Amino acid sequence: MDTIQTLTSNNGIVIFSKSTCCLCYAVTILFQELGVEPLVHELDHDPQGREIEKALVKKGCNSPPVPAVFVGGKLVGSTNEVMSLHLSGNLIPLIRPFQTLA
């Protein structure tokens, strides 16, 4: 879907989220605490949200497809993948180019 491509290619870190999702909130806070201000795109506030959600599933996002985290235009995954990267020490090197303050 063009919206996903546009948002992920024009922004370093993008989180597709829903305002009622506690895991989406947790992932967003993690990135903020690591010195990154991700673009958070709330699907439940977007008239195309349902179509974007379907496109995220086609891209490989698990069910539920949010949070869907993209770093440098590439799909990282959801909460499990982000937390696994963080716990293994591999998240910070991945996001370092997008950190505003270390």
| Per-residue model confidence (pLDDT) at position 6 | 95
| Per-residue model confidence (pLDDT) at position 101 | 63
| Per-residue model confidence (pLDDT) at position 21 | 95
Q: Which fold has domain 2-71+80-98?
A: Glutaredoxin (3.40.30)
Residue ranges, the chain, pLDDT below 70: 1, 101-102
| Element holding 39 (H helix, E strand) | strand 39-42
Query: Half-sphere exposure of 86 toward its Cβ, with a 13 Å CA cutoff?
Result: 13
Query: Half-sphere exposure of 58 toward its Cβ, with a 13 Å CA cutoff?
Result: 8
Q: What is the pLDDT of residues 24-52, one digit of tens each?
A: 999 999 999 999 999 999 999 999 999 99
Domain definitions of the chain by residue range: 2-71+80-98
The residue assigned the tokens 């201000």 is: 37
